[in-house]
Amino acid sequence: MVGPVGRLEVLDGATNLIPGRCELWLDIPSGDDTTRAAVADVMAAIDRIAWHLVSGAGHDAMMFNGRTDVGMLFVRSGNAGSVIAA
């Protein structure tokens, strides 16, 4: 089974923001019913993975894990983004 991602769109994405939504287009071409039936399994796996993803917003502060306490401060900037200080 081959399933190339032909398009990936990160909505409202910026270098310093975690997007609230990402969309991808997946094409699984097939000439047989077995592969077409497997598409439901692929979609179920995608849903399962997406449901348990966390943002992982730790940035460089993760390097200090266990060595010292770390806090993150999110401050709104003038362009509706955020500045992160760790």
pLDDT of residue 58: 57
Helix (H) or strand (E) holding 49: helix 33-51
Q: Structure pTM?
A: 0.47
**Domain positions in the chain:** 1-53, 57-86
State pLDDT tens for residues 10-42.
Answer: 877 666 666 777 888 888 877 888 887 888 888
Q: What share of residues in the chain are helix, strand, coil (percent, to 5)? A: 30, 25, 45
State pLDDT tens for residues 58-71.
Answer: 566 777 777 888 77
